[in-house]
Amino acid sequence: MQTKPFRIGTRGSPLALAQASETRARLMTAHGLPEEMFEIVVLSTKGDRITDRALSEVGGKGLFTEELEAQLLIGELDFAVHSSKDMPTTLPAGLELSAYLPREDFRDAFIGRTAPSLMALPDGAVVGSSSLRRQALIRRRRPDISVINFRGLVETRLRKLEEGQVDATLLALAGLNRLSMPDVATELMDPTDFPPAPAQGAICIESRIGDRRVLDLLESVNHQPTFDAVSCERAFLAALDGSCRTPIAGYAICEGEHLKFSGLILTPDGSREHAVEMEGLRSEAGKLGAKAGTLVRTAAGPDFFADWT
């Protein structure tokens, strides 16, 4: 019987702590365990400390996970809680994404200071975003406005917006919901026209492969439709060698035993794109995502990628 608390690794941002707390609450309910059986361990990551440059310039998505994964591998943590869209497609040897909580709304939220929607912004307006995907989608719809790099915690970006550094920004609606701040959104972006990042809105749990004690604990909170949908999306990303240098969007929706996937790649200026749609059995989610990625890469051709990698 487990006598020591399970150690849950997380970043220290308000959003990361909210996600770790949600995970703990679900595990407490599922197993009838008291709060003291779960210790939330906060670690600072390089991605948290470097906020003045784009992620693509300083190492990509792994900057938000390296310190947590190092502690997982040596047994100092039992598992770690992450925003799924922050996870590299290749994990360190010995680690896996073993569970996903039920997915939140995966749409992007537009937060306007001088206009309530992207299309209502005046010519020459400035939008702040650190996401190459969002930057490309903004430029696709509004090539007349300026897009600047805009990093930091949710609260930091909202403060910069209020100070007038930009006219608008975009954030994941899921994060705003988890922080009880959905009302700051002035427009919710239609995913058919402004698709989310792969895995957006999903909380994942990373653990050691074969750690039966932890895997048995996590199995009770795993949401299989989210697991299947995000597995498809991450396979799409992996087939495209997705990183913080690539504007890639995509989302999967489970319908019964079937799954529908829509994916999109763009050039950073939003002037060119290639889309793909696929559907099939949820049991083959990973294969579907990988096939979609291969198809869109082939359709785009090497020159498409050579222009911006």
Residue 308 scores a pLDDT above 70: no
Domain containing residue 275: CATH number: 3.30.160.40
Question: pLDDT tens, 284-297?
Answer: 999 999 999 999 99
Q: Is residue 194 part of a domain?
A: no
Which residues are catalytic, by number?
A: 86
Distance CA 129, CA 152 (A): 10
CB atoms within 10 A of CB 58: 13
What is the extent of the structural domain holding 290?
A: 224-309
Q: Reduce the DSSP state of residue 215 to 3 states and report it.
A: helix
Task: Give residue 46's pLDDT.
Answer: 57
Q: Is residue 162 part of a domain?
A: yes
List, for residues 93-124, the tens digit of each pLDDT value. 999 999 999 999 999 999 999 999 999 999 99
Share the mean pLDDT of the chain.
91
Residue 124 falls within a domain, yes or no? yes
Give a yes or no: residue 195 inside a domain.
Answer: no
Cβ atoms of residues 60 and 83 within 8 Å: no
Claim to verify: residue 95 and residue 2 sit in the same structural domain: yes
What is the residue type of 247? Answer: P
Does 164 share its domain with 79? no
Indicate the number of domains in the chain.
3
Task: Specify if 193 maps to a domain.
Answer: no
CA 96/CA 306 separation, integer angstroms: 31
pLDDT in tens, 204-249: 999 999 999 999 999 999 999 999 999 999 999 999 975 557 799 9
Residue 38 lies in a domain: yes
Q: What percent of the chain has pLDDT over 70?
A: 90
